[in-house]
Amino acid sequence: MKNESDILDKTKGGKIPFALPDGYFDNFTSELDKKIQFEMESKRMKKETKDVKIKSLYNYVRPWAYVAAAVALLVFCVQLIISNQETLEASQEKTEINNVNSELLYTHLDDESIMDYLISEEE
Amino acid sequence: MFQEEDIIKDLKDENRRYQAFSTLVKEYQKQLYWLIRKMVLSHEDTNDILQNTFLKAWNGIDSFRGEAKISTWLHRIAINETFTFLANAELKNTQNMTDLEDVLVQNLKSDNYFSGDDLQLKLQKAILSLPPKQRLVFNMKYYEDRKYEEMEEILGTSVGALKASYHHAVKKIENFILMDD
């Protein structure tokens, strides 16, 4: 019967029982090099595509942003003008009503009362 | 000459990274190749795993903070890649109702790059009967005579547990060989 450690003793520290193709490690380095170059190129292209996407999105949005800003400004100005006009009209209307009221008032008064009123105003 | 501190510094610098990484590959490719090869046995599979290991390292340089040695970091990536490969191969063989260890032994017999004799083949069959992590511990100690402290750093297992694992692995291999005779 064999000693239990026979095989382990005989093989320990011996040559590893595997062979390699000739020049394997030189070829491995250059093969790996190609893959790394490819990875670097893909990464660079990915970054460029991302930058272009962001840039094109910005270029697409920019004119619309200008249009939106112009429309908003226009709406604001129109609203301001309408609001001013309404205030002016309301003020004119009030003046007219006052004038009309004075005229109406005068037509219902006799000359003596008007004269008294005007004299009292002057005093 | 390979200076770890200089390499780490250059890896952080985008302009020097490529050159530093090439130096790193040349320094560790053989060590990692044999670590993987002894686990998966086939040269072709080892080549694929080794390429993936370095590509992952290249893509993960920014996540390397220098807390561990470069060699430890690379070994961990290589081991993860190897275990992932073995788990996938195991799954594939389970679906095909075959045993991964049998397939690996059959591949080894017909492999042009296996240069061992019958004794070596028998030993490889015995090693394949171990669970992957124990197989890794056995290979690192038996073939490469690595220090347990170094293995602890790479595998994240205590020296005591590693010694016990290696001891059990030796016993299992011896029993396997005796049973196989």
Locate the domains of chain A by residue range.
23-122
Least confident among A13-22, B72-81, B86-95: A13-22
Q: Which residue has the higher pLDDT, A104 or B114?
A: B114
Q: What is the mean pLDDT of residues A70-87?
A: 90
Q: What is the mean pLDDT of chain A?
A: 80
pLDDT of residue B136: 96
Interface check for A96 against chain B (CB to CB < 8 A): the answer is no
Task: Compute the nearest-CA separation of B92 from chain A (Å).
Answer: 25
Residues of chain B in Cβ contact (below 8 Å) with chain A:
18, 21-22, 25-26, 29-30, 33-34, 37-38, 41, 43, 47, 50-51, 54-55, 58-59, 112-117, 119-124, 126, 142-143, 145, 170, 173-174, 177-178, 181
Q: Which residue has the higher pLDDT, B133 or B96?
A: B133
| CATH no., domain B117-181 | 1.10.10.10
**Does the distance separating the beta carbons of A36 and B55 come in below 8 Å?**
yes
Q: What percent of chain B is predicted at pLDDT more than 70? A: 97
Among B18, B114, B181, beta carbon nearest to A2: B181
- Is it the case that residue A54 has pLDDT exceeding 90? no
Q: Which residue has the higher pLDDT, A107 or B48?
A: B48
Q: What is the mean pLDDT of residues B140-153?
A: 93
* Domain ranges in chain B with CATH number 1.10.1740.10: 1-115
- Among B151, B13, B140, B55, CA closest to A40: B55
DSSP state of A109: S
Class of domain B1-115: mainly alpha
Nearest residue of A to residue B116 by CA position?
A: A17
* Domain ranges in chain B with CATH number 1.10.10.10: 117-181
Q: What is the mean pLDDT of chain B?
A: 89
Residue B53 and residue A53 in contact, taking contact as beta carbons nearer than 8 Å: no
Q: Rounded CA gap, B135 and B100, in Å?
A: 14
pLDDT bracket for residue B110 (50, 70, 90): confident
Q: DSSP letters of A37-81?
A: HHHHHHHHHHHHHHHHHHHHHHHHHHHHHHHHHHHHHHHHHHHHH
- Is it the case that residue A50 has pLDDT exceeding 90? no
pLDDT of residue A113: 81
Complex ipTM value: 0.78
**Does the distance separating the beta carbons of A40 and B115 come in below 8 Å?**
no
Sign of CA dihedral A83, A86, A91, A92: positive
Q: Which residue has the higher pLDDT, B18 or B117?
A: B18
Q: What is the mean pLDDT of residues B65-77?
A: 91
